[in-house]
A and B are shown apart, each in its own frame.
Chain A
Amino acid sequence: MIVATCVLAGLGLVAGLGLGLAAKFFAVEVDPRQEEIGDILPGANCGGCGYAGCSDFAKGVVEGKAAPDACPVGGAETAADIGRIMGITIEEKERSVALVLCQGDSTAAPTKFHYNGMTSCASAALVGGGDKLCGAGCLGLADCQMVCPFGAIEMTEGGIARVISERCTSCGKCVTACPKNIIQIVPASAPIHILCRNTDKGGVARKACTYACIGCKKCEKFTGDGSMVVTNALASTDYTNPPQDPAVIGECPNACIKELDLSKKAVQH
């Protein structure tokens, strides 16, 4: 028993010493800034910046490949800290959040069949595009909620997803997870949003959901400045020049235009 312990400990010691020496001998110089940046990053490894993880992003920044303000989670503060380490000033980037462009909950959007397969939007979407009559409706099986690393998506009572914008960091994971492509990253400062992605024409769209955009162009005419346009019988807002006047909401016959305050941000924990 004692011999066994000693032998194994000895083996471990020799191996450890060998590795220690090897680590010294084959040491790789790492830019100290890389470690510093790695320390101040949120460490969520969400991949929202487009890199494999926070340390990979730190490496990219030091090598000049990644934009210092590309971390959507850390936002402006982290960007400023990175700028300080790298010795550059960062212009404040506008905060953006994810938004589910659907209001068709169980009271508004009828289903065309009873889906009883796996509890996953991706799998439901394979069966005739899902059970919602609307081809662009939220299936409500919470794929986006599952992938959200920040717990920023909840399912409403009516069974559709809703982004809790205070917690959202716009990492974009839900955008890729949604098989119906109805989650979009939008600037948090924009007040007016069109919460529909249905491209069917009037009657068909109206049957599919009471909140459907029927492409009536009332909003396009009302704004008149190109901030809202209708293409393929679907209105959309131009987020580079978002509409500001809430009066346009009253123009929409199906109430798919909403005024939302997405700019609040939760205190960093």
Chain B
Amino acid sequence: MELILLVVSAIFVNNFVLMQFLGICPFLGVSKKLSTAVGMTGAVVFVMTMASVISWLVYHKLLVPNDLVFLKIIAFILIIATMVQFVELVLQKLSPKLYASLGIFLPLITTNCAVLGAATLNIQNEHTLAQATVFGAAGGLGFGLAILLFAGIREVLELADTPKAFKGTAIALVTAGILSMAFMGFTGLVK
């Protein structure tokens, strides 16, 4: 039950992108097409879950016993960067098309603060390993939900008769704001 609540919390109530405003860069960058957004979601879910698990293990089994908690951020960044590199290698081999369409945004997951955010929040909220895993995966899915919704809207927006001054990024930012306000409706659903 607790884990289900955690999932609902991470996906809807405390959505990384729309409620905590983390990971905005890929959210805006890779949301022009639904198909690339799906690929990005897959990559982020994988990286976030793995990063959550490994960073939890490193923190609790390596840093805390050795009294090296201050190394938290640098260690997490190292882990995340490694995971991203790994995903990049795998994608290049298994799906060159997706690799090409994600382009620069794939290595940019390294600096996607949502991933570092998930790892740090796991420690801050004193999650257990199981909770950390679920939180990471759900956080990634939350990111995916936001970016997929946004990509869907942007694809339709492309055809809409937008005033000249609002074309492109301007209307995208306005849309992101409204989407974020919509998600605020979930506030209070889970404590």
Contact = CB atoms under 8 A, between A and B. Distances in A.
A23 B89 contact: yes
A22 B89 contact: yes
Contacts of B82: 15, 18-19
B106 to A, nearest CB: 14
Nearest to A14: B82
A27 interface: yes
Contacts of A67: none
A44 interface: no
Contacts of A19: 82, 85-86, 89
A28 B86 contact: no
Nearest to A12: B78
State which size class the interface on A falls in: 10 to 19
Given A11-B58, A15-B79, A4 B86 contact: no
A3 B58 contact: no
A179 to B, nearest CB: 17
B79 A8 contact: no
A7 interface: yes
B92 A26 contact: yes
Contact of B92 (A7, A15, A18, A28): A28
A15 B78 contact: yes
B66 A3 contact: yes
B93 interface: yes
Contacts of A26: 89-90, 92-94
Nearest to B91: A26
A7 B93 contact: no
Interface stretch (B10-18, B67-75, B109-117, B138-146): B67-75
A8 B70 CA distance: 12
B73 to A, nearest CB: 12
A3 B68 contact: yes
Interface string A13-34: 0010011001100111000000
Interface of B is mostly: helix
Given A15-B78, A19-B82, A19-B85, A7 B90 contact: no
Interface string B46-86: 00000000000010001100111011001100110110011
Contacts of B62: 7, 11
A4 B70 CA distance: 9
Given A12-B78, A26-B92, A28-B92, A7 B86 contact: no
A4 B62 CA distance: 10
B86 to A, nearest CB: 5
Given A22-B89, A23-B89, A27-B93, A7 B78 contact: no
A221 B121 CA distance: 80
Contacts of A7: 62-63, 66, 68, 71, 75
Interface in A108-131: none
A11 B78 contact: yes
A18 B58 CA distance: 16
Contacts of B81: 15
Interface in B87-128: 89-90, 92-94, 96
A168 to B, nearest CB: 30
A4 B71 contact: yes
A97 B74 CA distance: 51
A4 B94 CA distance: 37
10 contacts: A8-B75, A11-B58, A11-B79, A18-B86, A22-B85, A22-B86, A26-B92, A26-B93, A28-B93, A28-B96
Interface of A: 3-4, 7-8, 11-12, 15, 18-19, 22-23, 26-28
